[in-house]
Amino acid sequence: MSARAAIRLTATGRVQGVGFRPGVFRLAEELGLAGSVQNTARGVVIELEGPPGAVRAFVARLPGSLPCLARLDGLREEPLAPAGRAGFAILPSEEGAGEGRALIPFDVATCPACLRELRDPADRRHRYPFINCTLCGPRYTIIESVPYDRPRTSMKKFPLCARCRREYEDPRDRRHHAQPNACPECGPRLTLTDPGGRPLGGDPLEGARERLRAGQVLAVRGVGGFHLAVDACSAAAVERLRRRKRRGGKPFAVLAPDLEAVRRLAAVSPAEAALLEGERRPIVLLGKRRPFALADGVAPGNPRVGAMLPHAPLHHLLVEGFAALVLTSGNLSEEPLARDNDEALQRLGGLADAFLLHDRDILMSCDDSVACVRPGRAGEDALSLVRRSRGYAPDPLPFPGGAACVLGVGGQQKNTFCLTRGERAFLSQHVGDLENLETEAHFRRCLAHLEGLLGVEPELVACDLHPDYLSTRLAEELVAARSGSRLVRVQHHHAHLGACLAEHELTGPALGLCLDGTGYGPDGTIWGGELLLGDLREVRRVARLRPFRLPGGEAAVREPWRTAAGALLEALGEGAPWGLLGPEAGRAELVARAAGRGVNSPWTSSLGRLFDAVSALLGLCRRQDYDAQAAVVLEAAAGSLPGPAWEPALRAGPGLLELDFAPMLRELVAGLGRGAPPEELAAGFHAWAVAGLARVCREARAAGAPGRVALSGGCCLNRRLEDGLAAALEADGFEVLLHRRVPANDGGLSLGQAAVAAARQGRR
């Protein structure tokens, strides 16, 4: 017998639920190797035996032979004694105590091969709304437990027919171990009902499309939950949906049938096209074309539109023949996404005229992800996630250092939570704003589900310093109920810095330019325009925006004219030109006087609130229908105009440097007095903010701070601000860290909380 070699390979990374084992089988068969491949808690274990040259060829070729969704992070090799094995087998997934440690696959958009079958009249799955294969389809949203096998998913109630069974069991077939595999004979089915749940006659899909063409509001059960849909070209339908959903002026996202349809709505760069057509299929924020081809009510007063391409076969079929459909979350404002048929009929009965339902259970709801692309960048570096959810969660992020299991519970707004296991951090899908019992219950359900899938129980629970955040109270409750766990409180902006450092696999030291609307400061004031210096363990504040009063506290967030009154009071005193606030002038003077006496007017150093104030002063937004509306319209007004060059002023504060906005505000008021266009002044404000913040960083570096700056916080979603800051700082020789895979806003807080808590334990 000729010489034989035998080895064991342990592959780690994204290697389960992505067609990795069939790929291994085919490569081993091609090279004439014997052995086996198996999903285990340690990763995918491959045992090979055969001629030494063939064994080495397998190791060399494996990285280049991966399925498109797989990612090989590590390949450990061990020698084995040849045992004279014959044939190569795919073994059942390893059972037992380690099963909760397998990586969890995320939901993947319909692949090109399945799309071809969907559109082929000769194919047995022609126009079947649940077509999928090993390379595409639902995963995280249908998983009950791990390893990821059909009996542990919501597909277990659909026994495979003979033809689907043959595909499922054949390692050479594209549908080998595709857990959601199904066909019209054995799989899920659509039903169209009225708001009372009574079935409507005819073909459900065509009936749904007819109702959309008639201007009706349709509730659609998708992959991660329900959407509400209308024809995006119908102004009446869009307005009807906006009124019923109590949406105010917040933009809607739209679903287009293909990339060419998106190009008719918006300018699309190559990087944006790649993101739109990729397997994750987020909503991508794009610059509108003028004239806008859809109803103005889709994204009123906004230069951008959120567009996506279909991520499920049902959506491909539903949007055929439409320029675009509005596709928005199936909920009332501030409520979590509906996922069950009965729940949707109860909660959305007053919103939708008809319901397109199906009988494949959604075990874990997932909102659509939202992303944008940084101009002038390519590949992964171009990505900037605004909301990390379907298609991304719970794909893990590196979390080096072998930390204890940590839970970061996130903040109050745009909540996510983060669980760590070993050297990975699992950021949850978007949970939402923790403002009601429904969202609290959603948080608890998502947390219990992910803990079960990962097989972990946190040793450390990290929360915000704010005592009234619901997430803080939930953290306190979790620690009280679980012996052995401990609470770690992390200041809001330290968590922002921590999230950016953790995303870049760094621990510090660094400067952290943390810019947002509201964060509870250790001094009891509202922070939001801060320059921090430190690492994951500890930080100190070295600079801030000059503080001003926030008349009415939380009321000022909804009514930016109040914020403008506070900023005017600080910059110009009680003789400020209140008339600039138009119909609110009289009330503004009254609240400013009350603020001067300290009545219900907390101090804030928030840049986000200063954006609100300037927006109100320019007459752009004096009352907000949705979060950050005032800042969005201010950025839109500024466009790419150069604006006046207002010199930033710095002053000494109590033990720290302050960026003084008062001279800028006086210049802006003078510009309004001269009749300068609001657009010009909006551009001037942005230029001032960039120049002032860059100068603050230079001063900190001159005083001994490192030349690395992390940009984080919701204000960094403002493209003009972040791009301008990054360019200015890089021109000054700084290394600039920007968020890519984790949102800069509060959607990334939980990762930062977990990173800080782990570091404080000396485990990182």
Reported as a single tens digit per residue, the pLDDT across 552-582 is: 999 999 999 999 999 999 999 999 999 999 9
Contact 73, 13 (CB under 8 A): yes
Of 759, 653, 712, 747, whose CA–CA distance to 493 is shortest?
712
pTM attached to this predicted model: 0.93
Q: Which residue has the tokens 């997932």?
A: 366
Banded model confidence at residue 99, pLDDT cuts 50, 70, 90: very low
- Residue 442, token pair as written in the block: 């959603």
Of 197, 191, 189, 167, whose CA–CA distance to 179 is shortest?
167
Mean pLDDT of the chain: 93
Banded model confidence at residue 95, pLDDT cuts 50, 70, 90: low
DSSP β-ladder status, 34-40 and 43-50: antiparallel
- Residue 623, token pair as written in the block: 């009352």
What pLDDT is recorded for position 435? 87
Q: Is 661 helix (H, G, I), strand (E, B) or coil?
A: coil
Residues 6+ apart with CB under 8 A from 647: 663, 691
- For residue 458, say if its preceding peptide bond is cis, omega within 30 degrees of 0: no
CA distances in angstroms from 396 to 235, 302, 350, 428, 523, listed in the order given: 41, 33, 38, 9, 35
Q: Which residue has the tokens 């007053």?
A: 350
Separation CA 81–CA 657 (nearest Å):
68
Rounded percentage of the chain residues whose pLDDT exceeds 70: 97
Contact 244, 351 (CB under 8 A): yes
Indicate whether 1 pLDDT > 70: no
Q: How many CB atoms lie within 10 A of CB 194?
A: 14
Q: Is 619 helix (H, G, I), strand (E, B) or coil?
A: coil
CA distances in angstroms from 764 to 407, 509, 572, 752, listed in the order given: 15, 14, 48, 13
Bridge partners (DSSP) of residue 133 are 136
Element holding 270 (H helix, E strand): helix 270-277
Indicate whether 18 pLDDT > 90: no
> What angle separates helix 560-572 from helix 585-596, to the nearest 10 degrees?
60
Reported as a single tens digit per residue, the pLDDT across 433-471 is: 998 899 999 999 999 999 999 989 999 999 999 999 999
Reported as a single tens digit per residue, the pLDDT across 673-711 is: 999 999 999 999 999 999 999 999 999 999 999 999 999
Q: Is 315 helix (H, G, I), strand (E, B) or coil?
A: helix
Bridge partners (DSSP) of residue 708 are 735
Cα Rg of the chain (Å, integer)? 27
What pLDDT is recorded for position 493? 98
Banded model confidence at residue 2, pLDDT cuts 50, 70, 90: low
Reported as a single tens digit per residue, the pLDDT across 496-524 is: 999 999 999 999 899 999 999 999 999 99
Per-residue pLDDT averaged across 61-70, rounded?
A: 86
Indicate whether 104 pLDDT > 90: no
Of 718, 712, 638, 731, whose CA–CA distance to 682 is shortest?
638
Banded model confidence at residue 401, pLDDT cuts 50, 70, 90: low
Residues 6+ apart with CB under 8 A from 414: 387, 430, 432, 433, 743, 745, 746, 747
Contact 672, 580 (CB under 8 A): yes
- Residue 293, token pair as written in the block: 């081809």
Separation CA 502–CA 90 (nearest Å):
37
- What dihedral angle (degrees, nearest 10) is formed by the CA atoms of 569, 635, 335, 457? -90
DSSP state of 674: T
Q: Which of 33-42, 88-97, 547-556, 584-593 has the lowest mean pLDDT?
A: 88-97
Q: How many CB atoms lie within 10 A of CB 555?
A: 13
Indicate whether 335 pLDDT > 60: yes
- Residue 334, token pair as written in the block: 């501030």
- Residue 447, token pair as written in the block: 């947390």
Q: Is 296 helix (H, G, I), strand (E, B) or coil?
A: helix
Contact 544, 584 (CB under 8 A): no
Separation CA 354–CA 357 (nearest Å):
10
- What dihedral angle (degrees, nearest 10) is formed by the CA atoms of 429, 537, 463, 516? -70
- Residue 596, token pair as written in the block: 């001067």
Per-residue pLDDT averaged across 346-370, rounded?
A: 96
Of 141, 389, 360, whose CA–CA distance to 280 is shortest?
389
Residues 6+ apart with CB under 8 A from 149: 93, 177, 179
Banded model confidence at residue 380, pLDDT cuts 50, 70, 90: low
Indicate whether 404 pLDDT > 90: no
Bridge partners (DSSP) of residue 420 are 425
Indicate whether 393 pLDDT > 60: yes
What pLDDT is recorded for position 98? 42
Q: Is 609 helix (H, G, I), strand (E, B) or coil?
A: helix
Alpha helices in 357-485, H assignment, sequence order: 437-454, 470-481
- For residue 291, say if its preceding peptide bond is cis, omega within 30 degrees of 0: yes
Maximum alpha-carbon separation in the chain: 100
User: Domains plus CATH for the chain?
Assistant: 5-94 (3.30.70.100), 98-187 (3.90.870.30), 190-358 (3.90.870.40), 374-502+747-760 (3.30.420.360), 526-534+541-745 (3.30.420.40)
Residues 6+ apart with CB under 8 A from 578: 565, 568, 585, 586, 588, 589, 592
Indicate whether 382 pLDDT > 90: no
Q: Is 137 helix (H, G, I), strand (E, B) or coil?
A: strand
DSSP for 30-70 reads HTT-EEEEEEETTEEEEEEEE-HHHHHHHHHHGGGG--TT-
Indicate whether 620 pLDDT > 80: yes
